[in-house]
Amino acid sequence: MRAVVAACCLPALVVPAASDAAPLQGAPDSPTRTAVVTAVTAPILLDGVLDEPAWQSSPGIGELVQRIPTEGAEASERTEVTLLRDADNLYIGVMCHDSEPDRILASQMARDASLRPDDYVELLLDTFRDQSNAFYFSTNPNGALVDGLVFANGETNEDWDAIWNVATRRSDQGWSAEFAIPFKSLNFPPDGTVWGFNISRNIQRKFEEVRWAGARFDAQFVQVSEAGEITGMGGLEQGLSLDIRPFVAGRWNRRAGSGDDSLRGKPGLDLFYNVTPNLKLTATFNTDFGEAEVDARQINLTRFSIFFPEKRSFFLQDAGVFNFATTGVGQPGGIPGTGAEIFPFFSRRIGLLGGREVPLDYGVKLTGRVGRTEVGVLNVGARNTSFVDEQSLFVGRVRQNFWQQSYVGALVTSGNPALSADAATMGVDLRLATSDVLGSGRNFVFNAWGLESDNDGVSDRDASFGFAAAFPNDRYDAQIQWREIQENFDPALGFVQRRNVRMLRLGASFNPRPKNQWLGIQQMYHDIFYTEFTRLDNGLVESRDFYFTIVDWHFQSGDSLHSLFDVNPRYERLFEPFEISPGVVLPPGEYDFTPLRIFFTSAQKRRLQGSIGITFGSFWSGDAETVSAGLRYSAPPRLTISVNTNQTFARLPQGDFVARIHRAEVNYAVSPRLSFANLVQFDNRSGNLGFQGRVRFTLEPGNDLFFIFGQGWVQELGERGTDFRQQDSRLALKAQYTFRL
């Protein structure tokens, strides 16, 4: 490693824990809340009705405390939570009392739906009590199943799916939820007796959140370090800890040009095995990803690469262990990203090449921990095709945790999915973090990293390194990021947005919560961010960007005036011609322009919810307006219809252009186990109109049937105006069944 980054940071300050009968926790120096899990032998019928004797006779965990709108206040509605366990499952019973049960909000029902428009409860299980990693589960009054993983004390992987169940029931007292989480779906130390635990309830019509632990403005729910503790978790067993999931997949394709049909099917197998209670082996053979969702359309009006997220389940499971410190720190809502993203490992480079699918023969992944050391190993075999040779691709990751929320780690990748040539990337990273900096109860994070790529024929200027420091809190939020990305830095299994630059970002936010509730405002956000890119080869500034948020008001109603004339002065220097749109080429030179932005969204709790954003003003060598608008209608609890559009109208001396993206979704859930998702989207850059219909039927958790139909059309301009010519059609079917041993 030719680039070394040195840094110092204040160590995390640990507040001594105290054991008590679930004391209220609001202030930073409050003792850790504790609760007992009661062991039972009588069966629990999962029906959402907490009427078994065990629910009535076992102790609850204590009162939940308001975080929003009033930190530390008593909850406006009572919530009762009881924890039980038997030999196979952890049961969480939640009774959400409501004085106005007819006003309970519940519009979502599909698996992994966003529950933000609804009343919902969410919970964390920190099974290793490391105050950094946790399992996440959530539901609403409709019984929607939502789950995910939390890592690095606040980062989330919402695409993780576990085998578990929940049942809910409404009554004249409110609504109740009954969770059953199998121990076979979790990882935990065999000799542990204490787990981290937290639970939160959101009452959407009141815009109220209440929590068991960490009910502070400065603490997000996914900050695992804020969780309390549950005891009585000793003596748990997982059996063989082996899940065998055979599947059968079939695909039909019709090529519009030739009219030829192709039909093929194949069996496959997924395995999930806990080598130890702390290490999980995941394997897939004769891999198929036919059930994956289609990508959202994007039009790139910049000079640099755009990012498409991973959607394939094998790569999403336990993906957090492969995350690297280059992801930096998060940006406040509405603030543009840095434009210099770096992912030394980006799983979409595997199995996809130039928009074409590369068949995978197998994939093997080992993730977990040994003591306080987290490990991740991935090996994938790509099949030989007409456009790429057979390959074996490897990723290795290790993180040594220390203190409560910090780690030092290393990552290595090997293989090039696009070429028959050797390629490797190596890097080290460091995270220092605390949620109690200087005993203040506030968050502080410092990240530093260094990377080097090793590709055939390249021997210099192939490194990248940097650091980021952040003070991400409710009232005050500040950050600094610095990174260098050298000209030949090219991680073959990664993603780099731009090269040959040195970046500096400085930002700060002041976000007061008015005490007198003036105008019904819950919180006011004010931001100033500065970003600069300097070329490494000539030392000249390539880009400079200021962003000022003058008015960003969030109201107690849930409506938000996100921006009222946000000001964004920008400077760009082109060293070579830039084709911003087909046929519209900007010549080399310097460009100063200042867009302004207005953006408003109505509350998600409304049946008819909308948003409108307008950006206008100077744009490169001319002027432009961008209009983004969305409308969502919910007919609870089954139907949701949404329409979104984003259009840019540019007038430049080099030529005028219009960039359009339209998107419409119609989602219908028969039950939490049967849902229909339909997506139509169009962009005028490619002229493609696409449809995907997706059906997911879960017979029972772990046993699924997927049915996906896709159809494309291409826009053509003829004598009679605009017409659409049919392109390829696609039908995919996948059935999977899990044998749990």
Residues 84-130 pLDDT 10s: 999 999 999 999 999 999 999 999 999 999 999 999 999 999 999 98
pLDDT at 419 over 50: yes
pLDDT at site 595: 97
What are the E-state strand segments in 34-184?
A: 34-36, 38-39, 65-68, 79-85, 89-97, 120-126, 134-139, 146-151, 155-157, 165-171, 174-182
Is residue 499 within 8 Å of 487, Cβ to Cβ? yes
pLDDT at site 241: 87
What is the mean pLDDT of the segment spanning 387-407?
90
pLDDT at 538 over 60: yes
What is the mean pLDDT of the segment spanning 594-623?
96
Please enumerate in sequence order all residues whose Cβ is within 8 A of that of 656, keeping only pairs 6 or more positions apart, or say none.
Answer: 584, 650
Residue 563's nearest CA partner among 554, 551, 571, 545 is: 551
Exposed / middle / buried, residue 420 (Cβ in 10 Å: 0-12, 13-18, 19+) = exposed
Residue 214's nearest CA partner among 442, 437, 19 is: 442
481-492 CB burial, b ≥16 within 10 A, e <16: bbbbbbeebbbb
Q: Which H or E run contains 53?
A: helix 53-57
Specify the 3-state DSSP secondary structure of 129: coil
How far is the C-alpha of 390 from the C-alpha of 380, rounded, in Å?
11
pLDDT at site 719: 64
pLDDT at site 489: 96
Q: Residues for the chain: how many in total?
A: 741
What is the mean pLDDT of the segment spanning 727-741?
93
Please enumerate in sequence order all residues whose Cβ is within 8 A of that of 56, keeping only pairs 6 or more positions apart, or say none.
Answer: 50
**How far lies 464's CA from each of 153, 340, 612, in Å?**
25, 11, 39
pLDDT at site 720: 63
Is residue 60 within 8 Å of 212, Cβ to Cβ? no
Please enumerate in sequence order all residues whose Cβ is within 8 A of that of 235, keeping only pairs 6 or more positions apart, or say none.
Answer: none
pLDDT at 277 over 90: no
Is residue 624 within 8 Å of 597, Cβ to Cβ? no
Q: What is the dihedral of CA 715, 717, 723, 726, to 10 degrees?
A: -40
* pLDDT over 70, % of the chain: 95
pLDDT at site 14: 30
**How far lies 385's CA from each of 35, 353, 354, in Å?**
57, 11, 13
The answer to whether position 440 is within a domain reads no
pLDDT at 16 over 50: no
pLDDT tier, 495 (very low <50, low <70, confident <90, very high otherwise): very high
> For the residues of 186-238, what is the DSSP string, one character each?
S---TT--EEEEEEEEEEGGGTEEEESS--STT--TT-GGG-EEEE---S---
pLDDT at site 229: 97
How far is the C-alpha of 468 from the C-alpha of 340, rounded, in Å?
13
pLDDT tens by residue, 450-479: 999 998 878 799 999 999 999 999 999 999
- 149 forms beta bridges with 135, 157
pLDDT at site 722: 73
Q: What is the DSSP letter of 132?
A: S
pLDDT at site 142: 96
In angstroms, how far apart are the furthest CA atoms of the chain?
80
How far is the C-alpha of 365 from the C-alpha of 349, rounded, in Å?
16
pLDDT at site 240: 83
The total number of structural domains in the chain stands at 1
pLDDT at site 256: 77
Is residue 712 within 8 Å of 725, Cβ to Cβ? no
The answer to whether position 453 is within a domain reads no
How far is the C-alpha of 13 from the C-alpha of 433, rounded, in Å?
10
pLDDT at 23 over 50: no
Of the two residues 678 and 26, the one the predictor is more confident about is: 678
pLDDT at site 30: 63
Please enumerate in sequence order all residues whose Cβ is within 8 A of that of 9, keeping only pairs 6 or more positions apart, or say none.
Answer: 432, 444, 446, 469
How far is the C-alpha of 431 from the C-alpha of 412, rounded, in Å?
18
What's the pTM value of the predicted model, to 2 decimals? 0.88
| Residue range of the domain that includes 141 | 34-231
The answer to whether position 300 is within a domain reads no
How far is the C-alpha of 478 from the C-alpha of 335, rounded, in Å?
13
Of the two residues 312 and 134, the one the predictor is more confident about is: 134
Give residue for tokens 């009006």. 301
The answer to whether position 256 is within a domain reads no
How far is the C-alpha of 413 from the C-alpha of 454, rounded, in Å?
10
Q: What is the DSSP letter of 316?
A: H
Of the two residues 641 and 133, the one the predictor is more confident about is: 641
The answer to whether position 39 is within a domain reads yes
pLDDT tier, 22 (very low <50, low <70, confident <90, very high otherwise): very low
pLDDT at 326 over 50: yes
How far is the C-alpha of 124 from the C-alpha of 149, rounded, in Å?
9
Give residue for tokens 């993206």. 661
Give the type of residue at 620: W
pLDDT tier, 352 (very low <50, low <70, confident <90, very high otherwise): confident
Of the two residues 139 and 287, the one the predictor is more confident about is: 139
What is the mean pLDDT of the segment spanning 273-301?
86
pLDDT tier, 320 (very low <50, low <70, confident <90, very high otherwise): confident
What is the mean pLDDT of the segment spanning 13-35?
51
How far is the C-alpha of 522 from the C-alpha of 555, rounded, in Å?
5
Specify the 3-state DSSP secondary structure of 519: helix
The answer to whether position 553 is within a domain reads no
Of the two residues 11 and 372, the one the predictor is more confident about is: 372
* pLDDT over 90, % of the chain: 72
In the predicted model, what is the mean pLDDT of the chain? 90
Q: Which H or E run contains 408?
A: strand 406-414
pLDDT at site 261: 87
Is residue 724 within 8 Å of 714, Cβ to Cβ? yes
Task: Read off the CATH number of the domain in which 194 is found.
Answer: 2.60.40.1190
pLDDT at site 493: 94
pLDDT tens by residue, 638-687: 999 999 999 999 999 999 999 999 999 999 999 999 999 999 999 999 99
The answer to whether position 728 is within a domain reads no
The answer to whether position 197 is within a domain reads yes
pLDDT tens by residue, 370-387: 888 999 999 999 888 877
pLDDT at site 721: 63
